[in-house]
Structure 1
Amino acid sequence: MLTARIQTAVSLIYPAQCLGCGGLVGSDFGLCAACWADMHFISGTVCEGCGVPVAGEADGFRLECDSCLRHPRPWSQGRSALIYGGQGRKLVLALKHGDRTEVAWTAGGWLQRAAGKLLEGDPIVCPVPLHWTRLLKRKYNQSALLSGALAQRSGLEHIPDLLGRSRRTPPLEGKTRDQRYRLLGAAITAKPRRKDRIKDRIVLIVDDVMTSGATLSACADACLQAGVSEVRVAVLARVTQT
C-alpha cells in the first residue's frame, strides 16, 4: 500500500513523458499517438537475411531481399524492428548521439518481438563493438545498451565485450558499401579471453542500424573464426536505401 502511494506521488510530480516528443503519456517509456503513428515497425513477410519487408507471402522457402541476394551474408538469419525513418530515426539518433539511454529498454522490447525465432537455441547475445577512443568520447556503446536490454528481457546470456575493434575506423555514414567493407577490413575480432565461452555456441549480434551490412559482416566473420557454430543478427532499424 505504501509503495503504491509513493509511486502515485512520484507520477504526479514526474508524469510519464513520450519518448519521442516529451508529451504526456499513460505509462513510462511509451509513445504518444502522433509519435507512434510515425514509427515504421516492420511486420508481415520479411527478408531472412536482414528483416526488411519483401513482397509476397512465405511459401516455406527462404526469402531474401535484392541486397541480400546480391551480397550473401555470413550470418544465417537477421531481423530488424524498424525502418530507419520518421520517429524511429529520431529515436535511434537520440540514443546514439543524444545521451537518451532510456530509449534502449523500450527498444529492447521492439527487438525482442522482431527477433522471434532468432532467440531460440539459447544464443549468446553481444553488441557490435566501439573502438575505445569512440567509447571514451560517447561514454557508452548504444549497441551494448540494446543488446543488454534484449538479453535481459529474453533471459539470455549477454557478453558485452565479446568483440573488440583493434583499430579505429572513420565514420561510415555517407560511405558506399565497398568503401565500408574496405575500411573495416580486419578491424573487428573476438576477444581471446571469450573464445572458450563461445566455441560451438550460437551468437546473436545486436546493432542499432544496418545500412550495407559491412559492420555486421565483420562481426559475424570474427565470431565464426573464433569457433561459433552459427551467427544471427538483430538490429533496431534497417536502412532501406543503400
Structure 2
Amino acid sequence: MSPFKRGAVGGAIGRLLFPPVCPGCQAAITGVDTVCPACWAKLRFIERPYCEGLGLPFGYDLGAGFLSAAAIADPPPFARLRAAVIYQDLAARLVTALKYGDRTDLVPLMAGWMARSGAELLGDADVVVPVPLHAGRLWRRRFNQSAEIARLLARNADIAFAPLALRRVKPTRSQVGLGSRQRRDNVRGAFRVIDARRQEIDGRHVLLVDDVYTTGATAASATRALKRAGAKDVDVLTFARVAAGME
C-alpha cells in the first residue's frame, strides 16, 4: 500500500475512533478546524469597514483609507493591524485554552481565520516574526503560542519564518490587569533583534504575529525593535483584538 493510501486509511480510522468535536462546547461536528453553529454565533468576526490602521470595526462605511480617532490621536509605529475576531466570549476562551491549557490543536483553526483576515498583509510580507516570550516564561509554559500560529501562517503562505530574530530581553510581568500606561512601561525596551539575526529583518517587510491585541503596548514595543534593526515596514496580525472602549 502506498504511503498516501496508508495515510488516508489512518485518517479515516482516526476520525472513526475520535470524531471531531467543537472546541467551544465539545458538541460533535462534521469536520475539523471549525466550530458548531451555536458557537459560530458567539464569534464576532472583523470585517470591513474598519480602520485601515488599527483594524477597529466601524458601524458604517466611512470611505476607503479612513482612520479611527484612536489611530489619528496616537498613530502606531506599525503600518497596519488586522485581527480575525473581537476578543470576547468564545474567542477569549480559545485564546486562554491555547495559551494556558496546552491546546495546540487549536492552532490550525486560529491560523486559518487569521490568514483570511490578514490575506493582504501576508501578501506583502517578506518574513513572519512571532512576538517572543522571555526565556524564563517559555521554559515554564513549554511553547510560545504566537510562534506556533506564526509558523503555520508562514508555512501555508510560503513566507520566510524567523522565530529567533526578535528576542524578549526583559522579563516583563504579565500584562493582564495592567492599565494602558502600566502596559507601556512594562514592555518598554523589552525587545531586541540580536546582531546575529539582523539580516533576517534588515530591509524586509515584516509581519509581526501575536495572539491578542489589547492596548497595543506589546506590538508597539516589538515594532520599534524591528525598525531599529532595519525593517522596511511592519504590519501586525493577531487572532483577536479588544474592541474600542474595552481596553
Name the TM-score, length of structure 1 as normaliser. Answer: 0.94
Can you give the 5+ residue segments of structure 2 that lack an aligned partner in the other structure? none
Instruction: Say whether 1:15 aligns with 2:28.
Output: no
Higher mean alpha-carbon deviation, 92-101 vs 65-74, is at: 65-74
Alignment partner, residue 126 of structure 2: 123
Instruction: Say whether 1:83 aligns with 2:89.
Output: no
Tell me if the contact between 1:40 and 1:86 (Cα under 8 Å) persists in the aligned partners.
no
Alignment partner, residue 113 of structure 2: 110
SS at match of 1:91: helix
User: Which residue of 39, 45, 57 corresponds with 1:41?
Assistant: 45
Tell me if the contact between 2:125 and 2:207 (Cα under 8 Å) persists in the aligned partners.
no
Structure 1 residue 58: Cα displacement: 5.2
Deviations 1:174-227 (A, max 9, x none): 111111111111111112211112211000001101111000000100010000
Can you give the 5+ residue segments of structure 1 that lack an aligned partner in the other structure? none
Deviations 1:2-55 (A, max 9, x none): 554443222111111112222211112221111111111111211122212023
Tell me if the contact between 2:165 and 2:200 (Cα under 8 Å) persists in the aligned partners.
no
Q: Which amino acid aligns with 1:217?
A: A
Instruction: Say whether 1:32 aligns with 2:36.
Output: yes
Q: Which amino acid aligns with 1:84?
A: Y
Q: Mapping of 1:1-242 within 5 angstroms?
A: 3-57=7-61, 59-60=63-64, 62-240=65-243, 241-242=246-247
Tell me if the contact between 2:50 and 2:57 (Cα under 8 Å) persists in the aligned partners.
yes
Aligned Cα RMSD in Å?
A: 1.5
CA distance in 1, matches of 2:8, 2:196: 46
Tell me if the contact between 2:162 and 2:200 (Cα under 8 Å) persists in the aligned partners.
no
Tell me if the contact between 1:109 and 1:153 (Cα under 8 Å) persists in the aligned partners.
no
Between the two proteins, the alignment pairs up a number of residues equal to 241
Deviations 1:141-166 (A, max 9, x none): 11111111211221111111111111
CA distance in 1, matches of 2:214, 2:7: 45
Tell me if the contact between 1:25 and 1:31 (Cα under 8 Å) persists in the aligned partners.
yes
After TM superposition, the runs of 4+ consecutive aligned structure 1 residues lying more than 6 A away are: none
Q: Which amino acid aligns with 1:201?
A: R
